[in-house]
Structure 1
Amino acid sequence: MIRVLLADDHRLVRTGFRVILGLEDDIEVVGEAEDGAQALAAVAAHAPDVVLMDVEMPVMDGLEATRRIVAGQGGPSVLILTTFDRDDYLFAALEAGASGFLLKNSSPESLVEAVRVIARGDALLAPEITRRVISAFARPGATRAEPAARLGELTPREHEVLVELAGGATNAEIAASLHLGETTVKTHVSRVLTKLGARDRTQAVVMAYELGVVRPGG
């Protein structure tokens, strides 16, 4: 079962999410929180696999709560859910360590799939989001010497995996593309992140674009 925590200051929204997720045999809502501080306490109490996190909440907002949750060892993955399609929220969420970003007007099917994607360790990195992330992070004059040196430490296969990651591929899609087992892909992804010094898949993708491993639209 995928254990999910709902963090949103609107009870009606939480109820809607609970109903949608409750229809799935492999998902269980284990707790709710109406602000970021309650979310931190609920994570400690319920040990969820995934937290659905609103951004604008009282006491502590969802971005700060995400930073604190992700900073803990072995904690849950965070999926940001917001009404506002704003770049500053998107970039702040990714910088905070969120594994995905979804709008509340998304379909129920998209929400369910997002929870499953996040739970298996993948990230929600749609092509249009990738372009916005690259635009924000590819700053002129950024220091690239150390990341470039780390890039040279990748094996040819790890380089291929990084290219697939940059295209937004999930572990399953990488496995199919490179004719590998998913367990092997997970090992390669882990090694890529370690060698690049990347916090997560999103940061690895940003580095891939900054270093010219792949290019937008290419």
Structure 2
Amino acid sequence: MSTVLVCDDVLPVRESMRRQVASVPGVTRTVAAGAGGATARTAPGGPPDVVVMSCTDPRSAEQVRSWMAARPQTAVIAVVAPGDGDTGGAAMAAGACALLVREPSTPELTAVLHHALAVSEARRVASAAGAGEEVPVLTEREHQVLAGMSRGRSNGEIGKELFLSEDTVKTHARRLFRKLGAADRAHAVAIGFRAGLVR
């Protein structure tokens, strides 16, 4: 069973998207709520596998980050207005796994949703594999790279801050992913927050 939560403050837009999402093969349940708030994170029926979140302003990135901290196994799709690359980029840096431009075609929505469902499944598997294990010790560099990720920095930006090449940052990132049992950057950051490795 796969659940998708559609978040948008405008009721007609929200319902239109929810109906479109419900028509996608592989989606068995849809829920709708206001964009990104506490009501969404406590939606009935347990946490969703995927959140389709309307991202309309710079605060949206913090809503995505909040989602990832509260529900690290959930995959977030950020829905942005046409041409709004800045908001979309900030949402991706905060942990969204994909972007959609508002009013997507059904084939586009289907492809992105299937990708997000696969991401959510990978995170669940990684979390189950690491359940009950002690949090491993990270090296100083791995701590620094994880801290950079938690601030939404790209690998290139982390490299500049630490005077490292981007390839070196990627190597540290791969190692800390393995140590934490994380499927991706957002999952690693969520684990890091819960374990007190980043603040």
Flag the 1:87–1:45 CA change in 2: closer, same or farther, 3 A: same
Partner residue of 1:55?
A: 55
**1:193 counterpart = 2:177:** yes
What is the SS of the residue equivalent to 2:55? Answer: coil
Q: Distance between the aligned counterparts of 2:67 and 2:173, measured in 1?
A: 31
Post-superposition offset of 1:65:
2.1
Give the alignment's Cα RMSD to 1 decimal. 3.8
1:3-33 CA distance string (max 9 Å, x none) = 1001001112222222222223421343211
Partner residue of 1:13?
A: 13
1:169-197 CA distance string (max 9 Å, x none) = xxxxxxxxxxxxxxxxxxxxxx7833699
Which of structures 1 and 2 has the larger relative contact order (alpha carbons within 8 angstroms, sep 6+)? 2
Partner residue of 1:41?
A: 42
Relative to structure 2, which stretch is displaced further, 5-14 or 18-27? 18-27
Of 54, 69, 92, which aligns to 1:71? Answer: 69
Whether the 8 Å CA contact 2:92–2:98 is kept in 1: the answer is: yes
Write the letter of the residue equivalent to 1:193.
F
Which sections of structure 1, spanning at least 5 residues, go unmatched? 123-135, 155-190, 204-218
Of 86, 89, 92, which aligns to 2:87? Answer: 89
Partner residue of 2:116?
A: 118
Q: Distance between the aligned counterparts of 2:181 and 2:73, measured in 1?
A: 20
TM-score, normalised by the number of residues in structure 2? 0.60
Post-superposition offset of 1:77:
0.7
Flag the 1:45–1:144 CA change in 2: closer, same or farther, 3 A: farther
Q: Distance between the aligned counterparts of 1:29 and 1:199, measured in 2?
A: 24
Partner residue of 2:168?
A: 148
Write the letter of the residue equivalent to 2:156.
A
Relative to structure 2, which stretch is displaced further, 136-145 or 66-75? 136-145
Whether the 8 Å CA contact 2:51–2:75 is kept in 1: the answer is: yes
Query: Number of paired residues?
Result: 152
